[in-house]
Every structure is written in C-alpha cells, then in structure tokens.
Amino acid sequence: MGVGTNLKKLRTNKTKFSQQEVADMLGLDRSTYINWENETSDVKSQYIPKLAEIFNVEIRDLFEEEKTFQISNSTFNDSAGVIVFNLSDRKIAEKLSLQIEELIRTIKK
C-alpha cells in the first residue's frame, strides 16, 4: 500500500472531502490528485506538508502501511508454552493486547 492508497482512505474515511475539494485546497487539477490516489504518478514532495494538514495527520501517517493481525481461539502448540510477539508499532501492540485479553475472557467462560 502506498501514499495514494493512504490518501484515498484518509479522504473517504476521515474527512469525507471529494477529490475536487482536496485538489482545490492544494491548488491542483482534480486529475493530478486522482493520479496520486491511483498511484499512477507520485505525490510531489512540496505538497506533503499541506496534505498532512488537510487530513489532520502527521506526515509519517501518509507513508505508513496498515498493519493488521488476527488472533483466533485455537490451541498453540509451543513446547515451552510461551508465545513471543515482537511488535514495533504501538497501536498494533495495544490492539493485540486487547484481543488477547478478550480471548482469555472467552476461554475462562
């Protein structure tokens, strides 16, 4: 997933701006902005700070790939009985923690 995909997600999920509205805020033709979202052309670096401002995110958020995970209620066959998760993304770690807590509650019932 690239910057264009992130732009589209931010625009449709967070701000509900139209492509034309974002293009107007940037002083661009709509077709240029569409090409960015479709990843048929690269976003020019001079527009990155303004895009972060429009979507009210940090610049790095425009470049981050979405990380997902899922835990199922299955038996883990680890001889030591220990599972180690090495996560560098705080949001993912928090989400994992909540899912593990929910899984434990479900198992205890």
Place of tokens 């020019």: 44
Q: Sorting pLDDT into bands at 50, 70 and 90, what band is 70? A: low
When pLDDT is averaged across residues 91-101 and rounded to a whole number, the result is 81
Residue 85 is predicted with a pLDDT of 65
Tell me the whole-structure pTM to 2 decimals.
0.60
Mean pLDDT to the nearest integer, 68-94: 59
Q: What pLDDT does residue 73 have?
A: 47
Question: What is the tens place of the pLDDT at every residue in 28-52?
Answer: 999 999 999 999 999 999 999 999 9
In this structure, how many other beta carbons lie within 10 angstroms of the beta carbon of residue 89? 13
Query: Which secondary-structure segment (H or E) carries 104?
Result: helix 90-108
Q: What's the confidence (pLDDT) of residue 69?
A: 53
The percent of residues in the chain predicted with pLDDT above 70, rounded, is 76
Total Cβ atoms within 10 A of residue 61: 13
Q: What Cα–Cα distance (Å) separates residue 107 from each residue in 7, 22, 31, 74, 76?
A: 40, 48, 53, 10, 13
